[in-house]
Amino acid sequence: MLPEHKTRREQLETSLLHSGRHRQPAASLLLSGGTLKTSPLARLPQNLSTEALQHLGVKKAQQTAEKPRRRRARSNDISGSIAALGAADLSHGWRAAAAARLRSGSGSAPAPLDGGGPTANQFSLSVAGVLIGAGLLGLPYAMGQSGWGGLLIIVAATLATCTTAKQLIWSFDTVNERWALSGEGRPVRSYDELATAVGGPLAGAAVRLLLVVECFGAMVSFIVLHISSWPVVLAGLLPSDSKVLVAVALCLAVAPTTLLRPAHLSVFAPVGLFASLVLFSAALVTPLVEEGSPVEEGSPCPALGDGGGTAAMRHDVFNPQGLGVSVGVVLFCFAGHSTFPDLYQQMPASERAHFSSAFDRGFAIAGVAYLLFAAAGYSSFGSCSAGAVTFNLMHANSAVGRAAAVSVLVSTFTIIPIQFYVVYRILSEIQFYSRRASPDYRASDNGKEGVDWPLEPDSKGSSPCVSLDSLVGRLLLLAAAGLLAASIPNFPFVIALIGSFTTMLISFIAPPLLYVGAHGRSLGWRSLSLNALLVLTGVAGMVAGVRNAFLSLE
């Protein structure tokens, strides 16, 4: 470092010490190896207020030059206006309001990874891999409830949830840009922190609870699926009541994948997509290799071993009575918004500008797969479609059914870890904030350094696996999911209820509200109308879905 740079750094540190306006945790400037991620002169201007920069004589252009790494591509048109703002502007309008909402502590924004994170193409595959999961198996059942009109529900859900997913990231970047401009408060890094910044602590707590319920519910639904499927797949090899046995075996098998750091999870996305492709192919070839005669229109539905079924085979064009359950199952297929911020945080800085097109590709892959799979399954099995189509495949051809069951098992190893990470991160933050309030923490090294928020748990590091101190907590959380799943054998009810309530709130209703709250008066009437339509549609779908889900138990 040049002498004049060292002098400038000393001036900055001295000014901050006397002014008390900024507290920078030393740990946030260091990588795991203890080296500076960027030079102090390059990082400090990003985190200083405009008044401090002008007091020290640091040119505003130098601050602006460092910010494009943190901005999305669509924000380039406003970067010039931000650079032209003076200190007096910070006390007016939405900038002061944003600074007031964010004034809950201090810290530094986690810089994008310089390397090792997913590329835009890998991000697309991760998005598709998160979406294409257990919900795929319930799509023929959803079509059986609503008829061929269910295809329109899938198209509408694909377009709407892709839009709301991008709204989340746009809101993240907007709030963090305001933080970088004001130098007060702290940036947001996750869905629940965005809700806190825009709507206050109560909104953040509500979203945090919904995220835990949705992601934990998705884990439980996967285990429920296997609990109900494998006794049929391995008929004669497993005891009649093998719920606990299957749950324990599955949890033990998937446990190692929950110990991986999130930056390494995208490597497994192609494996999950390949497993989904095998399942998709099984549904397509079943009519060609079906053992015995297919069920004729109007004939009684066969006993599939899932405890469900309807009186007779039929193919409806549209059945409004089953619309609510169909909406819930379809929305469950798009239960990924809670994980997208965490995946986005793992992207390298050079790839973040392409996140919008990456979302488009990921949702397009999932939407096309859903449409084809739902149409193929409903065409073959009609209203006789089981809650999980693997039961129909096993009845039609045992070999094809077993191949489908194995593919579902493989996809479980790629989806549960991502859902698991969100739950574990939120629980870790709750534990951190509880510990921070104790006198012992304030006397510790972290308390003395001013570390007032948790780093992402085990999100970065040279090793692909997490630290040993988090091993016990992760295993206990996974065991809790297995025990809960063993007591809920009804797979269609689980996915319909989660989809129509938590997924509808997190993926359909909350993102437009947060987007409007983050951008405020800068939105035009067309954008406000679109967001209002999304919210009203989501509320109506949630009420109908929850009602029909409970009626399906009768």
CATH number for the domain that contains residue 383: 1.20.1740.10
Tokens of 151: 């295809």
Q: How far apart (Å, rounded) are the C-alpha atoms in residues 387 and 42?
A: 56
Q: How far apart (Å, rounded) are the C-alpha atoms in residues 117 and 265?
A: 10
Confidence at residue 80, expressed as pLDDT on a 0 to 100 scale: 37
Tokens of 107: 């810290």
Tell me the per-residue pLDDT of 172-217, one tens digit each, with 9 for 90 and over.
989 988 888 887 667 888 898 999 999 999 999 999 999 899 889 8
Decide which of 490 and 318 is more confident: 318
Question: What's the pTM value of the predicted model, to 2 decimals?
Answer: 0.70
The three-state secondary structure class of 548 is helix
pLDDT of 339 over the 50 cut:
yes
CA max distance for the chain: 88
Decide which of 519 and 471 is more confident: 519
Confidence at residue 368, expressed as pLDDT on a 0 to 100 scale: 95
Tokens of 193: 């922190």
Decide which of 382 and 72 is more confident: 382
CA 125, 129, 131: angle at the middle one, nearest 5?
120
Percentage of the chain exceeding pLDDT 90: 25
H or E segment at 15? helix 3-19
332-350 average pLDDT score: 85
* 8 found inside a domain: no
* 151 found inside a domain: yes
520-541 average pLDDT score: 93
- Determine the length of the chain: 554
CA 387, 164, 420: angle at the middle one, nearest 5?
55
Q: How far apart (Å, rounded) are the C-alpha atoms in residues 229 and 440?
A: 50
Confidence at residue 275, expressed as pLDDT on a 0 to 100 scale: 82
What single DSSP character describes residue 350? T
CB atoms within 10 A of CB 13: 13
* 545 found inside a domain: yes
pLDDT of 124 over the 70 cut:
yes
* 32 found inside a domain: no
Whole-number average pLDDT of the chain: 74
Categorize the per-residue pLDDT at 307 as very low, low, confident or very high, splitting at 50, 70 and 90.
low
CA nearest neighbour of 276 among 142, 369, 382:
369
* 67 found inside a domain: no
* 402 found inside a domain: yes
Tell me the per-residue pLDDT of 308-334, one tens digit each, with 9 for 90 and over.
555 688 899 999 888 889 999 999 999
Tell me the per-residue pLDDT of 63-97, one tens digit each, with 9 for 90 and over.
444 444 444 444 434 333 333 333 333 333 434 44
Print the SS3 string covering 400-448: HHHHHHHHHHHHHHHHHHHHHHHHHHHHHHHHHHHHHCCHHHHCCHHHH
Q: How far apart (Å, rounded) are the C-alpha atoms in residues 554 and 451?
A: 53
CA nearest neighbour of 359 among 152, 138, 72, 153:
72
Domain count, the chain: 1
The phi and psi torsions of 36 (rounded to 5 degrees) equal -70, 135
* 236 found inside a domain: yes
DSSP 275-331: HHHHHHHHHHHHHHH-SSPPPPTTSBPPP-SSS---SB----S--GGGHHHHHHHHH
Confidence at residue 57, expressed as pLDDT on a 0 to 100 scale: 40
Identify the domain containing residue 147 by its residue range. Answer: 120-180+188-441+450-551
* 371 found inside a domain: yes
pLDDT of 166 over the 80 cut:
yes
